[in-house]
């Protein structure tokens, strides 16, 4: 695309882990200039192992990196100069950290009234707002873990759902504040939080209780609203999810798998009839599906408009035909010069996906360039590098 919606918007980001970087990545993908401020030794997220090993590369594309020791007077001064030039500031550190550095909302707004100051926290203002939070913490508190696991075994979702969605809601708040600034000339303080995000995810179950008078059961123990809505094991042990949420899908499925007797059974005439007999029905269909090849059945399900899904592992998505052919994966250059296929934001603009424009930056890769833009001379930059205030290339 020749231009992007946020061309000309400068974002300064002091963040780590997932929530803050997600917010910055979304704005960067939409065209903003995103300058990430890292410690001299680099964002600690770069060095995570295990489940965190993919965090940095996943959420830090389309950004520049400057490395500054913000605990020094010279480093603080450089960051404040940068914030004077910014349209948006993103931070996701523990409560009070920005204020202790002189980068709190009131201080920054006093210097730059047009800035949209974005804080991504564990909790919005209230009794919990001084607590530290993690995705897992709020999933336990807000009912998501209870709804995900079987009775007595609360289980967190298999991805950083609140961190990612919290960053997304932060970006939505930024976009709204920027739009308002077009009218008023003034910025806003935007806050997004893990806990409130997770409560929104649980809202449907809260209202289920209000409507029915009965507490929602965890998903493995729920009473499904649809009769056929489950994972089945097919011939050879392959698993596939199959659903028939309407009477038309039910009829089509029965015909495909040769179950005319089920269609002739008037006690199974409607979805609600079938829901009442769901255990018996699922047991019978489980026996039928165990004799059928899943790969052979899948195109027939698709042709007849019957929802289905193979059970995939994340690493198998690199070979997904739809992602490859639709452009949903793009080559992203990493800080070591190698490339990986990376999923893009799930949006398109005029049919175009928002791909990487910048590689994952090396630590301080853009320090010198950005500081020159703020009026620092090469001599000053070199002196501050020698003093350990800057790290750059």
Report yes or no: 38 and 370 within 8 Å, Cβ to Cβ: no
**CATH number for the domain running over 10-201+323-391:** 3.40.50.10540
Token pair for 289: 């599906």
**CATH number for the domain running over 224-314:** 3.30.1540.10
pLDDT at residue 222 in the model: 81
Binned at pLDDT 50, 70 and 90, residue 1 comes out as: low
Beta-bridge partner residues of 233: 239
pLDDT at residue 221 in the model: 86
pLDDT at residue 186 in the model: 98
On average, the pLDDT of the chain sits at 96
Strands (E), 152-244: 189-193, 228-233, 239-244
Q: Is the pLDDT of residue 56 over 70?
A: yes
Q: Is the pLDDT of residue 112 over 70?
A: yes
Q: Is the pLDDT of residue 37 over 80?
A: yes
Q: What is the mean pLDDT of residues 345-369?
A: 97
Distance in angstroms (rounded) separating the CA atoms of residues 250 and 256: 10
Q: What is the pLDDT of residues 187-222, one digit of tens each?
A: 999 999 999 999 999 999 999 999 999 999 999 888
Q: What is the pLDDT of residues 73-108, one digit of tens each?
A: 999 999 999 999 999 999 999 999 999 999 999 999
pLDDT at residue 73 in the model: 98
H or E element, residue 310 = strand 308-310
Q: Is the pLDDT of residue 2 over 80?
A: no
| Residues in CB range of 286: below 8 A, 6 or more apart | 232, 233
Domain boundaries, the chain: 10-201+323-391, 224-314
Report yes or no: 256 and 301 within 8 Å, Cβ to Cβ: yes
**CA end-to-end span of the chain:** 30
Q: Is the pLDDT of residue 32 over 70?
A: yes
Distance in angstroms (rounded) separating the CA atoms of residues 27 and 21: 10
CB neighbours of residue 221 within 10 Å: 11
Residue in the block written with tokens 């009131």 = 106
């Amino acid at each position: 695309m020749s231009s992007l919606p946020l061309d000309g918007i400068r974002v300064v980001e002091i963040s780590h882990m997932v929530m803050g970087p997600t917010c910055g990545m979304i704005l960067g993908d939409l065209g903003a200039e995103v300058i990430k401020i890292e410690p001299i030794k680099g964002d600690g997220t770069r060095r995570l192992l295990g489940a965190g090993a993919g965090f940095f590369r996943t959420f830090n594309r389309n950004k520049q990196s400057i490395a500054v020791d913000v605990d020094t007077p010279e480093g603080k001064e450089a960051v404040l100069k940068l914030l004077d030039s910014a349209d948006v500031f993103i931070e996701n550190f523990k409560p009070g950290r920005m204020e202790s550095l002189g980068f709190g909302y009131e201080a920054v707004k006093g210097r730059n009234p047009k800035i949209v100051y974005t804080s991504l926290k564990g909790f919005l203002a209230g009794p919990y707002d001084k607590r530290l939070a993690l995705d897992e913490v709020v999933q336990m508190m807000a009912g998501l873990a209870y709804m995900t696991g079987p009775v007595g075994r609360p289980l967190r979702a298999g991805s950083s759902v609140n961190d990612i969605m919290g960053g997304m809601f932060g970006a939505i708040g930024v976009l709204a504040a920027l739009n308002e600034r077009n009218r008023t000339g003034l910025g806003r303080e935007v806050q997004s939080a893990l806990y409130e995000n997770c409560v929104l995810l649980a809202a449907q179950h809260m209202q289920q209780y209000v409507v029915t008078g009965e507490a929602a059961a965890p998903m493995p123990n729920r009473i499904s609203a649809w009769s056929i809505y489950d994972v089945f094991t097919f011939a050879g042990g392959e698993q596939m999810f199959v659903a028939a949420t309407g009477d038309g899908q039910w009829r089509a499925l029965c015909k495909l798998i040769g179950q005319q007797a089920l269609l002739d059974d008037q006690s199974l005439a409607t979805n609600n009839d079938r829901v009442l007999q769901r255990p018996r029905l699922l047991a019978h269909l489980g026996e039928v599906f165990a004799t059928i090849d899943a790969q052979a059945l899948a195109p027939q399900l698709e042709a007849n408009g019957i929802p289905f899904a193979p059970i995939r592992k994340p690493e198998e998505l690199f070979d997904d035909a739809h992602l490859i052919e639709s452009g949903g994966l793009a080559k992203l250059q990493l800080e070591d010069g190698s490339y990986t296929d990376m999923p893009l934001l799930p949006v398109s603009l005029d049919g175009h996906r928002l791909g990487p424009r910048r590689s994952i930056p090396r630590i301080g890769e853009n320090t010198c360039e950005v500081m020159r833009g703020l009026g620092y001379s090469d001599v000053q930059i070199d002196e501050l590098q020698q003093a350990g205030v800057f790290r750059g290339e």
